[in-house]
């Protein structure tokens, strides 16, 4: 069983995996069809927001926050659209700030809550640890796609 410090370390490593790629990206390059790095970062910020909501509701014993109850694709579209008017630098700042907030929520979560059951932002129940691991893997997967696009900039982007 992972402890909180390990989860936070992995979360930070996943973020660093994307962060180190940013200086090499042409902000106009499509990472996915219709998504540049700006939309990818907006998407990641949206899922960090959703995770914060789920964790805060869990800790407060409030009804679960399920912002993606209509489905993952509609939630992805919504979170990207909500940030569409922001410039690239604003998106990067928000992406970083929301992750800092998520890490603070995790830091304040007692270790004994990690194996507890939480309602995920998309509906199914899982442990807190499983939710965090899914979010870590999610960011790592996007980092791999970004790396692949940087290595093959003339190849057509794959759907997300």
Residue 118 contacts by C-beta under 8 Å, 6 or more apart in sequence? 54, 55, 58, 64, 125, 126, 127, 128, 131
Whether 64 is covered by a domain: the verdict is yes
Q: Is 7 exposed, middle or buried (0-12, 13-18, 19+ CB in 10 A)?
A: buried
Q: Given this model, what pLDDT does residue 153 score?
A: 83
Round to whole Å and give the CA distance between 8 and 48: 13
How confident is the model over 65-76, as pLDDT tens digits? Answer: 899 999 999 999
For residue 48, tell me if it sits in a domain: yes
| Residue 98 structure tokens | 């929301």
The parent domain of residue 146 ranges over 4-150
Residue 114, domain member (yes or no): yes
Domain containing 72 — which CATH number?
A: 1.20.120.450
Count of domains observed in the chain:
1
Taking only the tens place, the pLDDT of each residue in 78-96 is 999 999 999 999 999 999 9
Q: Is residue 35 part of a domain?
A: yes
**Predicted confidence (pLDDT) at residue 62 exceeds the cutoff of 90:** yes
Q: What pTM does this model have?
A: 0.95
DSSP state at residue 111: G
Q: What is the pLDDT of residue 129?
A: 97
With respect to residue 156, please indicate whether it lies within any of the assigned structural domains. Answer: no
Strand pairing report for 30-32 and 117-119: unpaired
**Residue 29 belongs to a domain:** yes
**Position 157 in a domain:** no
Within a domain: 158:
no
């Amino acid at each position: 069983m992972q402890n909180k410090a390990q989860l936070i370390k992995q979360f930070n490593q996943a973020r660093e995996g994307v962060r180190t790629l940013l200086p090499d990206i042409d902000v106009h390059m499509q990472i996915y069809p219709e998504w540049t790095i700006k939309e990818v970062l907006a998407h990641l910020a949206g899922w960090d927001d959703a995770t914060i909501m789920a964790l805060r509701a869990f800790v407060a014993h409030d009804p679960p926050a399920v912002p993606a109850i209509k489905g993952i694709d509609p939630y992805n579209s919504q979170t990207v659209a909500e940030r569409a008017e922001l410039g690239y630098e604003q998106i990067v700042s928000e992406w970083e700030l929301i992750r800092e907030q998520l890490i603070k929520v995790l830091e304040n979560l007692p270790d004994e809550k990690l194996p507890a059951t939480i309602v995920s932002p998309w509906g199914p129940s899982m442990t807190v640890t499983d939710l965090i691991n899914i979010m870590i893997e999610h960011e790592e997967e996007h980092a791999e796609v970004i790396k692949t696009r940087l290595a093959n900039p003339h190849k057509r982007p794959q759907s997300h």
